[in-house]
Structure 1
Amino acid sequence: MIFVMGATGHIGSKIVSHLLANGQQVRCLARHYPNSAELSGAELIEGDANSVATVTDCMRHCSAVFTMIPPNMKATEPRYYQNKIGEVIAEAVEESGVTKVVNLSSIGANLESGTGIVLGLHDQEERLNALPGVDIVHLRPTFFMENILSGIPSMVAMNRYFGTIPGDIPVDMVATQDIAARAAFLLMNPTFKSHNVEYLLGERTLTFSEAIQELGEIVERPDLEYVAVPESEMRNYLIGAGISADSADAMNELSRAASNGTLQATVSRDKLNTTATSIEEFGRTTFKTAYMAEMERSRARQHQSLSSSPDMHP
């Protein structure tokens, strides 16, 4: 049996699919399973990831577990929130007796300051490494390509994608399917010993301007543009979108670490940390599907607006 946390998310759901396709027994934990059909074949447990007893029960008798701290962008004091969940995970690992852990971390998790939302993942790596007799692989992926999907409404409405990282700064971007593939392999082949770190940096290094231009070509919007905005403007936008002020500040701090080269300085690209999915492949599949769906929603809203307008004819 393999236990997967976050099985309803971008990465966890793909891990489960990989494992099931390879004949593995899989156990998942979530508060709700809105698309349970996608996890058909797995043991689905509804419960609270804040409960040591629940997480411990899920981990018992498992050959390996995938752990992650679920993101909560509405949390005030995000590092406190991350540490609270992290402590539950660590205690459950210890009490369950599981000895093989694949932990989702992040690029920059080796740094003790200046990385905003990643600081809680730094704490979690140290917390798990302190557990006696547990073999661990910390996966440190870079910026998720899927993060770009949140900017599709502005791309459709204004032909622009907004961020705070300057458009000419080199940034590594990885598809979540590549993270999931590596995690699934490690979970099925838990031969790793001691404490290990693996970086996942995507197919090649790009700037945001280059990435958005490539995506624009794929959806026949060659004038699609990346626009860098001040941190204050991004902060106001994020808070308006429902993200807590503390989380918005932490996200801006992480972007600042990418902008000034702090993150890139922590790792060098090589064959081992270079993954398969290119920005073009991501664009032709995940991005194009999401972009066209937003286009349809935009047309529907425009049609509804016109239909509901009062008749102005005499």
Structure 2
Amino acid sequence: MIVVSSATSNTGAAVAEALLAAGAEIRVLGRSRDRLHRFADRGAEAVEVRTDDPGSLRAAFAGAHAAFVMIAPGLIPGSTDFPAHQRRVIDTHRKALSGLGGLERIVSLSGWAANHAGARGPVWGLRPLEEALDTLTGVKSVHLRPGWFMENAVPMIDEVRATGVAHGLIPADLPLPAIATADIGVVAACLLTGRRTAATRTLELHGPRDITLAEITAAIGDAVGRPGARYEQIDAATLRAGLLEAGFSAHMADGVTAMTSDVAERRIAMTRPRAAETATPTTFEQFLANAIHRGHGKS
């Protein structure tokens, strides 16, 4: 049995989908059983859990020989103390998984921000999650550190469609190791089933090639009938003000701005070159075509 926590998140769902496609026996966990029907209808066992309850979470992991773990939700716009939430989730998972009989492998969703010891904002908890899982005895843990999620570009589709311009704090010409969530799911599934092994405890995932936000915006423009679409960089104060206007607490607006600044100023970066082990196949153009086909970016 392989257990997938946070199966209603983008990445958790991608892991569950990849495991089901491979014919694995899985149990999917989530905060709402209703949102797990898509997996239960295909044979998965669905369990509703609370990530702040070690007892119920431990029962949900019982009988597993492999488990996928992540911090979820990864963002709570109205939070006034997001690190406290992350600490609770990390501690709950550590207690739930400690000494769990039969558990052999854990794959965690971390991120390239864990490469930066001073990571701030929503990504602060990634390295502490890794460190907590590494304390478990008798279990082999692999921490996935994917780069910039292609899903981050989805809100840009509406913006470009409406105005022909996209905005952000990251410089237009900064190469980003963009990766599709579906590809992360496939890598995690291969590690969980034992079809793939990792040489080290951390595995960076780069996507097929680096791509800039100028290139991303141009590709979106071509796809939505806005040829010549351009990307304009904004400053940190403008980003923060926009987050506050969107309903973020000051705490979360500060955190997201700090996190994005760390990417923009290259404190968050990959530490290893792209290689066969770290590259994944989905190009941004393929991701974009699929996103538009599924209706993303339609007002």
1:73 maps to a residue whose letter is I
Matches within 5 A, 1:1-314: 1-39=1-39, 40=41, 41-70=43-72, 71-74=74-77, 75-97=79-101, 98-189=103-194, 192=197, 196-264=201-269, 266-291=271-296, 294=298, 297=299
Secondary structure, counterpart of 1:137 in structure 2: strand
1:134 maps to a residue whose letter is V
Does structure 2 retain, via aligned residues, the 8 Å contact 1:136–1:193?
A: no
Instruction: Assess, with a 3 A threshold, how the Cα gap between structure 1 residues 33 and 286 changes in structure 2: closer, same or farther.
Output: farther
Does structure 1 retain, via aligned residues, the 8 Å contact 2:62–2:100?
A: yes
Secondary structure, counterpart of 1:171 in structure 2: coil
Secondary structure, counterpart of 1:151 in structure 2: helix
By how many angstroms is 1:275 displaced? 1.0
1:282 maps to a residue whose letter is F
Cα deviation, 1:232-281, whole Å, max 9, x if unaligned, reads 11112112223332222222222222222222253322222111010111
2:76 maps to a residue whose letter is M
Cα deviation, 1:254-310, whole Å, max 9, x if unaligned, reads 222222222225332222211101011111111453346x1xx4xxxxxxxxxxxxx
More helix by share: 1
Secondary structure, counterpart of 1:290 in structure 2: coil
Residues in 1 aligned to 2:17 and 2:124: alpha-carbon distance in whole angstroms: 30
Instruction: Assess, with a 3 A threshold, how the Cα gap between structure 1 residues 217 and 288 changes in structure 2: closer, same or farther.
Output: farther
Does structure 2 retain, via aligned residues, the 8 Å contact 1:14–1:180?
A: yes
Secondary structure, counterpart of 2:113 in structure 1: coil
2:107 maps to a residue whose letter is V
By how many angstroms is 1:105 displaced? 0.1
By how many angstroms is 1:182 displaced? 0.3
Does structure 2 retain, via aligned residues, the 8 Å contact 1:174–1:203?
A: yes
2:85 maps to a residue whose letter is Y
1:86 maps to a residue whose letter is I
1:57 maps to a residue whose letter is A
Does structure 1 retain, via aligned residues, the 8 Å contact 2:119–2:268?
A: no
Instruction: Assess, with a 3 A threshold, how the Cα gap between structure 1 residues 193 and 280 changes in structure 2: closer, same or farther.
Output: closer
Provide the TM-score with structure 1 as the length reference: 0.87
2:247 maps to a residue whose letter is G
Provide the TM-score with structure 2 as the length reference: 0.91
What is the alpha-carbon root mean square deviation over aligned residues? 2.0
Task: List gaps (5 residues or longer) in structure 2.
Answer: none
Does structure 1 retain, via aligned residues, the 8 Å contact 2:49–2:60?
A: no
Instruction: Assess, with a 3 A threshold, how the Cα gap between structure 1 residues 151 and 73 changes in structure 2: closer, same or farther.
Output: farther
1:129 maps to a residue whose letter is D
Does structure 2 retain, via aligned residues, the 8 Å contact 1:149–1:287?
A: no
Cα deviation, 1:94-143, whole Å, max 9, x if unaligned, reads 04232310000000213321443222111111111122222100000011
1:88 maps to a residue whose letter is T
By how many angstroms is 1:192 displaced? 4.8
Residues in 2 aligned to 1:283 and 1:131: alpha-carbon distance in whole angstroms: 39
Cα deviation, 1:22-48, whole Å, max 9, x if unaligned, reads 221111111214444421211111221
Greater Cα radius of gyration, structure 1 or 2: 1
Which moved further from structure 2: 104-113 or 194-203? 194-203
Secondary structure, counterpart of 1:136 in structure 2: strand
1:107 maps to a residue whose letter is W
Provide the identity percentage. Answer: 30
Residues in 1 aligned to 2:198 and 2:145: alpha-carbon distance in whole angstroms: 17
Residues in 1 aligned to 2:36 and 2:67: alpha-carbon distance in whole angstroms: 20
Does structure 2 retain, via aligned residues, the 8 Å contact 1:172–1:205?
A: yes
Instruction: Assess, with a 3 A threshold, how the Cα gap between structure 1 residues 181 and 132 changes in structure 2: closer, same or farther.
Output: same
Residues in 2 aligned to 1:107 and 1:284: alpha-carbon distance in whole angstroms: 26
Does structure 1 retain, via aligned residues, the 8 Å contact 2:28–2:36?
A: no
Secondary structure, counterpart of 1:58 in structure 2: helix
Does structure 2 retain, via aligned residues, the 8 Å contact 1:105–1:139?
A: yes
